[in-house]
Structures are given as structure tokens and as C-alpha cells.
Copies of this chain bind each other. A is one copy, B any other.
Amino acid sequence: MKSLLSLGKEELKNELSALEEKYKEFKARDLKLDMSRGRPCREQLDLSMGMLDDRQYLTEKGVDCRNYGVVEGIPEARELFARLLEVSPDEVIVGGNSSLNLMHDTLVRAMLFGVCDGCEPWGRLPKVRFICPSPGYDRHFAICELLGIEMIVVDMKEDGPDMDAVERLCAEDEAVKGIWCVPKYSNPDGITYSDQVVWRLASMKTKAPDFRIFWDNAYFIHHLTDEEVPLKNILKACKDVGNPDRVYIFSSTSKITFPGAGIAALASSAANIKRMVKLISRQTICPDKMNQLRHVRFLKSVDNVKELMKKHAAILRPKFRLVLDTLEKELGELGIASWTKPKGGYFISFYSMDGCASRIVQLAKEAGVTLCEPGATYPYGKDPRDRNIRLAPSMPPPDELKTAMELFCLCVRMASVERLLKDN
């Protein structure tokens, strides 16, 4: 194989015909494969089945988890998350099964009640803007869109968001009230923020005194290799530089135990947590403490969680390897694409030539492979260069994944040749 970029028009036409033949064969196979979302596979879920054997309903201190009460989560669950996130227990609340729910509700509360006592509710301001390092997580963007918060795209670099741009935006514009971050093994690029980036986020000057970092630490312990990429503790950094209330940290066990039936946590300054508990106590009487207790008794300790995560990694690694190997083999020398090689998290971020991603997704879809919607990794679903596709290798069995990736690479080649012919 050689770079497609060096081919002449006739060669490209011949190449396209050959690719279209192969594509027809795929189509005839009537595939129905899904690589659209970061869903753990069945083998991963089976790792936590032991959790269901537990009939205990009393906390260590004898609180009956079946009954009402304890809106902030049971002490042992707060303790476990405190250890996992390296904060103190009074800086954590543990909720229901969804960290997205905590994020959504935190932003809704900021709109309705402001982020501190005496702070102006964001919903009363003429304009609220959020910085969205992109590519990023579509569900973050969807919440902003729902609430009418204007999203400003900032590029992702090797070590996190483009901090020069972030600092400039925050310093100049009082309407810039927040930033979305997936700081560890980011969705979709797999990037972990450097200490310097974390420090700049914690310490930067913001024109809005009530600026908040929405720190979605979804993959805080989700390593794929033996290397545990470190992430600087942002709550500590915020406290150290005198901005203790700046950050909301979100996390969950969704990709540790059960994606739909895990437990989620919010960590922040004790002052923020105290205010949040007051507001949440108007929303609900308590989270599902039975599920919290079940989790704590199953997960036990940070070390034990790490052991469990190694088992997840052992299942995921061959799938990531298969995707990366197929990309390398089918596209490695063609000069038409690049992709990330993550050390953790759930995604491989794929970059085609400009203007090809939508076409690739469409081609794959028509042949039975569902990929992430084109543009999904950017605010408003608009990838300005139409080139990023988030690949999620976790869910399909290896043989299906292999087929899906072969088709994917074929679609990339077709779309690229089509584009080159058009530009010729």
C-alpha cells in the first residue's frame, strides 16, 4: 500500500471501483453491529455479579438502608469515594446510578439558584457561556444546549485544553461561567491533563466570580495498560490557590460495576457540598442506599477496586489492540487518517481527512455498522472540519469487532478516494 495522496485521477477511479466491489460484499452480509457508545461488554458486567449475593441492609452504624433517610449517601460510600477521588468524606456526596444526572442537576441548580448563596442564578443572566474543549463528550454538550448555554469550542492539545485560549476567554468575558472537562483518559481523545493544565485551570483569573469547572472524572481509575497515568488533584489545587469552591468533580462506578446500576458521586469543597445537600434534600428523601451498601461491601477498598479494574483492562485490551491493529494494517500507510492510542478510558479517537467523517459514518451505517453520529464529539453536533469519529471497541465480541473494523477501514478508504476525486 502507498499513500492515496500520491495517486492520479485514473488510479483513484480504479481504486474506488475496487473498494465499491468490496463494499457490496459487506452489504450483502446484512451486518448489524454497533460501535457507537462506550458500553462495557457482558464479560465485564459478569465481574461484579458477586455484588448481587449480598442481603445485608444495615450500615456499619446500624442504619437500615431499606428505609428513608441519609440524603447525602451512607458514610461508608462517601468514605470509599473520598479515598478513590483523594478528597475527604465531607467533600463527597453519593447519589443514584448516574453521574450524568448529578451533572445535569448541578447545572440546572446553577441556572435556577446560582452556585452559592447570594450568587445570581445563571438563568437570570442575558447570556451564559461554557467552554467546551473539543472533541468532547456529546452528553455534556446536550445539557448545555438544553439549557440554552452558549458553547465555545476550544481545541484539545496533547496535555489538555488549549489553556491560552481558555485563560483568555475566562479573563475577558463575564458570561463565561464554566468549562466541561474529562481530565483523565478524555472522551474521546484519551488525553490526561498535565499538572500544569490542572494548575492553570485552578488558578486562572476569571472575570465571572462564580466560574465553575465541571470535572467529569469518568475514567479516573480506568487504565488499559500497566501504566497508571497520574492526574493532579484539582480540588486540592483549587484550595491551594484560594479558589476552593471552583470545581465540581463527578464520578461513578458505572464502568467499574454495572453501567446502569452503579452509584455516582459528586465531590467539591465542603461548603459547596453543604449547600448542595440542602438543595437535594428538597428534591428527594434519599438515594438508593441499598445499592450503595451493596457496592461498598463488594468493592471494599481502593486496592480491591484496582484489582477489579485490571480484570476489566484484561477484557478490553485485546479489543483495543484489534482496533488499532486493523487501523494500522488497513490505513497505516495511506496518509489519509490518524488516530489515538489511549492508555485508558473507552475510546479511540479517529481523524479522517477533512470533510470525510460524515460520509464514513453514512457508508458504515448503510452496510450495517452503527458508529457515533458524525459531529457528536463537538458542540451542536458540528465538527468544523468533519473529520472526528469516536470508536468504541468495548461492547462487540472480538469477531464482530473485527468485521466492523474491516468495514470501517473500507468506508474510510472509499470516502477518502471520493473526496480526493472531488478535489482533483
Q: State the A residues within 8 Å of B (CB).
A: 37, 39-40, 42, 45, 48-49, 52-55, 57, 64-70, 96-98, 100-101, 104-105, 108, 111-112, 123, 139, 142-143, 146-147, 254, 258-261, 279, 282-291
Contact indicator A104/B261 (Cβ below 8 Å): no
Given contacts A65-B261, A68-B37, A260-B68, A98 and B55 within 8 Å (CB-CB): no
Report the separation of the CA atoms of residues A423 and B423 in the bound assembly, to the nearest whole angstrom: 96
Contact indicator B98/A260 (Cβ below 8 Å): no
Given contacts A96-B97, A112-B108, A284-B101, A67 and B260 within 8 Å (CB-CB): yes
Report the separation of the CA atoms of residues A45 and B67 in the bound assembly, to the nearest whole angstrom: 8
Report the separation of the CA atoms of residues A65 and B54 in the bound assembly, to the nearest whole angstrom: 18
Residue in B39, B111, B279 whose beta carbon sits within 8 Å of that of A68 in the complex: B39
Which residues in B have their C-beta under 8 angstroms from that of A98? 284-286
A-B contact pairs, 8 of them (CB 8 A): A65-B261, A66-B260, A69-B260, A97-B287, A104-B282, A112-B123, A143-B283, A260-B285
Report the separation of the CA atoms of residues A378 and B98 in the bound assembly, to the nearest whole angstrom: 34
Contact indicator B261/A291 (Cβ below 8 Å): yes
Report the separation of the CA atoms of residues A291 and B291 in the bound assembly, to the nearest whole angstrom: 9
Minimum C-beta distance from A59 to chain B (A)? 12
Question: What is the chain B residue whose CB lies nearest that of A48?
Answer: B66
Contact indicator B97/A147 (Cβ below 8 Å): no
Residue in B45, B111, B260, B289 whose beta carbon sits within 8 Å of that of A261 in the complex: B289
Contact indicator B45/A64 (Cβ below 8 Å): yes
Contact indicator A259/B105 (Cβ below 8 Å): no
Question: What is the chain B residue whose CB lies nearest that of A37?
Answer: B68
Which residues in B have their C-beta under 8 angstroms from that of A287? 97, 260
Contact indicator A104/B284 (Cβ below 8 Å): yes
Minimum C-beta distance from A56 to chain B (A)? 9
Residue in B70, B100, B279, B288 whose beta carbon sits within 8 Å of that of A283 in the complex: B100
Given contacts A42-B64, A64-B45, A147-B112, A260 and B289 within 8 Å (CB-CB): yes
Contact indicator B260/A105 (Cβ below 8 Å): no
Contact indicator B66/A45 (Cβ below 8 Å): yes
Which residues in B have their C-beta under 8 angstroms from that of A48? 66
Report the separation of the CA atoms of residues A285 and B69 in the bound assembly, to the nearest whole angstrom: 25
Which residues in B have their C-beta under 8 angstroms from that of A108? 108, 112
Question: What is the chain B residue whose CB lies nearest that of A144?
Answer: B282
Contact indicator A100/B285 (Cβ below 8 Å): yes
Instruction: Please name the 9 residue pairs, one residue from A and one from B, whose CB atoms are nearest each other, closest first.
Output: A261-B290, A66-B258, A101-B284, A104-B283, A98-B284, A97-B288, A45-B66, A68-B259, A146-B282
Contact indicator B52/A55 (Cβ below 8 Å): yes
Report the separation of the CA atoms of residues A170 and B40 in the bound assembly, to the nearest whole angstrom: 51
Question: What is the chain B residue whose CB lies nearest that of A45?
Answer: B66
Most interface-central of A42, A146, A285 (chain B CB within 10 A) = A285
Contact indicator B284/A66 (Cβ below 8 Å): no
Which residues in B have their C-beta under 8 angstroms from that of A49? 55
